[in-house]
Chains A and B, each alone.
Chain A
């Protein structure tokens, strides 16, 4: 039993954090809001140079051959930076989905493309009517009547659905399933889609942790500097206690997310429930962090100009993606109370 990350994992996290600090700034995010796609291919290739999209790509396909325990810390960093590029759909969901396809040549071609930073993936799932980043994806992996299809973007008709978060690019997709697009069916397709959902939710949970961490930092900074009644507002207990409560939640959401990463990496039988707990805990933490941050920033936080809402909107978008927090809580309840899915307490194991 060892519940901590190793030096290499922490080092890689620091590298990505430093990279994003420079490459993904609030000014940069605002500039992208004004663009047609809201995404930058140029940034994406630089992200590929750090190894991120291809982290889960097997080494024989030019990837880093790592697993979700390595990836989770990096996704947390992307949340901290409010990065909205399709890292979840490509790196966390799309890549393992391709790895699981029976059509190996097709999968390998795209995996190499992802590792090289040349291909972006979008993944649809029955849990949501929308597909994020379909407009910049080279390949769309889409469900249809229990089957899984791989569709080139050119063969799909996309309708943009403007959302509350200008960083979030949502689309409804119309397309024609044909024999050529079919890549998995039956039991296999269901398994792949179930795993995709869990990986997507894990990715969101990790980003939600990062969002919450950053929002708390920003708010502490502001509360130390903003003075009222002749002293920093952060010296008032009303402010302290709100922020302390967020910190408590954050501290208890973090290991739940890391355990979910472990469960996904090791294909644990409890994977679904572990992931749902993570999505629920991290989502609620990020939402509460955003809410408290807004309150502490006061009217200033309510302006478009202040950067806080960049993160606040990420917290909202992420909660809705890959199964809402409420959806995941219901899934845990079904598992724990009705035995619908395998769930078991951590630690204790029943006599064999």
Chain B
């Protein structure tokens, strides 16, 4: 065990730091859940990609930098410290990308990965349906094989980034006689195909961060099948593992929030006579928990580099970061008091409106990527070995 960075890791850090210092937009971009913000974020991704920073841990041939996962964590630390924009293609680069690397054919890797890294193609994910939420195996949307095509009928919902994305990945029932998680296939669907209708859904914050997607006889070439036909469930589980596990929420994100929370507390404590001691405790706890999350991630990455794999423990992660994120934002709003309700645009907001935005977003964390109740079931059954109900 050696918890210090090597000279190579340190030099990687300074390289990332200098590039970000010179290139991160000075003004924050508009929300990526608006049409304008989406395109601005896409342009930022082009810039990142041109400099080779878009997909740090991917192989160079697929548009990555060929760095290891420790270096990826270092990059993330620098990225958040620099206040760089959110990643508009996160469903692609963090979730589908690793899945294609594991299950895709060489042709699929060549076709999709580089364009994903550059965000020339931005991806949305199509798991949920009106009658298949936590119970994802209840998927009803069908894909019927006709010659060298699949013909898709059905409806996907809560498609993150669906309103503006170019492509959708998701699970479809390819064996009409099948039940539950058997007979599903993982397909890649262009959202500009004939028969696709996208209906944006305004979220809790009022912006169209997700969408409903109606698929009415959409023809998709058979080569868009990822993994084996009727075996899409295990492919999707790998994607979900990436989502809950390592890639989607790097620790730097929460360390950064914790750091801002500490600063907010200190500022407020200086300018106000009394601040509820409960808040002091909550801020210290948030800081400790963000550190614990970071330490755990470094430990996981060390294990992966030594040849290990991520399994059901991804569910532990997802509970921890999503609940930490909510607690941190709740604490910030409690410190802010009456100002906590102001939108960023309010004249008296003075920058504090970001906490409200962050809070509304954090509230989605325990719901998306499999609700935390589902994760608790996974932990109980697959890690602890308790019987299925």
Chain A interface (Cβ < 8 Å from any Cβ of B): 1-6, 69, 216, 220, 223-224, 231-232, 234-237, 239-241, 243-245, 247-248, 251-256, 258-259, 262, 277, 280-281, 329, 332-333, 336-337, 345-349, 351
| B386 contacts A337, C-beta separation under 8 Å | no
Which chain A residues border B73 with CB–CB below 8 Å? 347
| B252 contacts A1, C-beta separation under 8 Å | no
Which chain A residues border B70 with CB–CB below 8 Å? 1
Type the 1/0 row for B162-176, where 1 means its CB is closer than 8 Å to any CB of A: 000000000000000
| A1 contacts B289, C-beta separation under 8 Å | no
Which chain A residues border B207 with CB–CB below 8 Å? none
| A240 contacts B298, C-beta separation under 8 Å | no
A255-B296, A345-B259 known; A262-B386 Cβ under 8 A: no
Interface residues on B, range: 35 or more
Interface residues of B in 254-306 (CB under 8 A from A): 255, 258-259, 262, 265-266, 269, 280-281, 283-285, 287-296, 298-299, 301-303, 306
Smallest CB gap from B282: residue in A: A333
Total number of residue pairs linking A and B with CB closer than 8 Å: 172
Smallest CB gap from A240: residue in B: B380
Chain B interface (Cβ < 8 Å from any Cβ of A): 1-6, 9-10, 13-14, 17, 70, 73-74, 77-78, 81, 251-252, 255, 258-259, 262, 265-266, 269, 280-281, 283-285, 287-296, 298-299, 301-303, 306, 313, 316, 319-320, 373, 375-377, 379-381, 383-389
| A240 contacts B381, C-beta separation under 8 Å | yes
Smallest CB gap from A261: residue in B: B1
Q: A345-B255, A349-B13 are in contact. List 11 more A-B contacts (CB 8 A).
A: A1-B70, A2-B302, A240-B381, A244-B377, A252-B316, A254-B299, A255-B292, A255-B296, A255-B299, A256-B292, A333-B283
| B386 contacts A243, C-beta separation under 8 Å | yes
| B299 contacts A4, C-beta separation under 8 Å | yes
| A258 contacts B380, C-beta separation under 8 Å | no
Inter-chain CA distance A243–B383, complex, in Å, is: 11
| A234 contacts B387, C-beta separation under 8 Å | yes
| B284 contacts A333, C-beta separation under 8 Å | yes
Inter-chain CA distance A74–B201, complex, in Å, is: 54
| B379 contacts A244, C-beta separation under 8 Å | yes
| A332 contacts B288, C-beta separation under 8 Å | yes
| A224 contacts B386, C-beta separation under 8 Å | yes
Residue among B6, B14, B295, B376 with the highest chain A CB neighbour number at 10 A: B295
How far is the CB of B70 from the nearest CB of chain A, in Å?
5
Inter-chain CA distance A336–B266, complex, in Å, is: 10
Contacting residue for A347 out of B251, B320, B384, CB 8 A = B251
Which chain A residues border B5 with CB–CB below 8 Å? 1, 349
Inter-chain CA distance A234–B291, complex, in Å, is: 32
| B1 contacts A69, C-beta separation under 8 Å | yes
Which chain B residues border A349 with CB–CB below 8 Å? 5, 10, 13
Inter-chain CA distance A84–B308, complex, in Å, is: 35
Contacting residue for A248 out of B285, B302, B316, CB 8 A = B316
| B320 contacts A248, C-beta separation under 8 Å | yes
Write 21 A-B pairs (CB below 8 A) sorted by A numbering: A1-B3, A1-B5, A3-B1, A3-B3, A231-B387, A235-B389, A241-B377, A243-B384, A244-B384, A252-B320, A253-B292, A255-B292, A256-B295, A329-B281, A329-B285, A336-B262, A337-B266, A348-B252, A349-B10, A349-B13, A351-B17
